[in-house]
Amino acid sequence: MADKDDSAAALIERARKAATRAYAPYSGFSVGCAIEAEDGSIATGSNMENACYRLGTCAEISALTSAQQAFGLSKIRRIAVAGGHLGDDGMLVGAQAVTPCGGCRQAIAEASDLADHDIQVISASGDGETVSTTTIAALLPASFGPKNLKDADG
């Protein structure tokens, strides 16, 4: 594993485990997300597809919703994402690190704005062996956020 941070490895394992509970019968691509709060609490989520394809929900959005319920978006310290498909043993496999989609980057950026600090984003492959660590500010530079609504009427 490229990342030698044991606590990051534990968070990645939580994301991989969450992916095993994804509902992804159409794409066969299961994604899990684990969000860590400043106090070490963890909220997880996975993607959920629908026969009406466009209604699918990303793992990150699912986990962000859980995080808001558990400890609040403003308390988020870092986020781990892992994706792939389920192997014969039911475990997540796959070699490519999964980064949050554009929409999820926007949602993570909103949490970063609320927290008033950058949020670390750990992207892992399904097998957890390939890891890329960056931040939401790097993934979504010059982002649109609450500050951009200052000129709204009302």
Q: Which residues are catalytic?
A: 60
The binding track of 20-59 with respect to Zn ion, each residue x by CB under 5 A or -, is: --------------------------------------x-
Q: Which is nearer to Zn ion, 1 or 21 (CB)?
A: 21
Q: Counting every residue, how long is the chain?
A: 154
Q: How far is CA 148 from the centre of its chain?
A: 24
Q: Which is nearer to Zn ion, 29 or 117 (CB)?
A: 29
| C-alpha–C-alpha distance, residues 97 and 88, integer Å | 20
8 Å CB contact between 64 and 39: no
Options 22-30, 71-79, 98-106, 134-142: segment touching Zn ion (CB under 5 A): 98-106
The binding track of 56-95 with respect to Zn ion, each residue x by CB under 5 A or -, is: --x-------------------------------------
Q: What is the DSSP letter of 101?
A: P
Q: Which residue is nearest to Zn ion (CB)?
A: 58
- Does the protein bind Zn ion through residue 101 (CB under 5 A)? yes
| C-alpha–C-alpha distance, residues 41 and 122, integer Å | 17
* Helix H or strand E encompassing 21: none
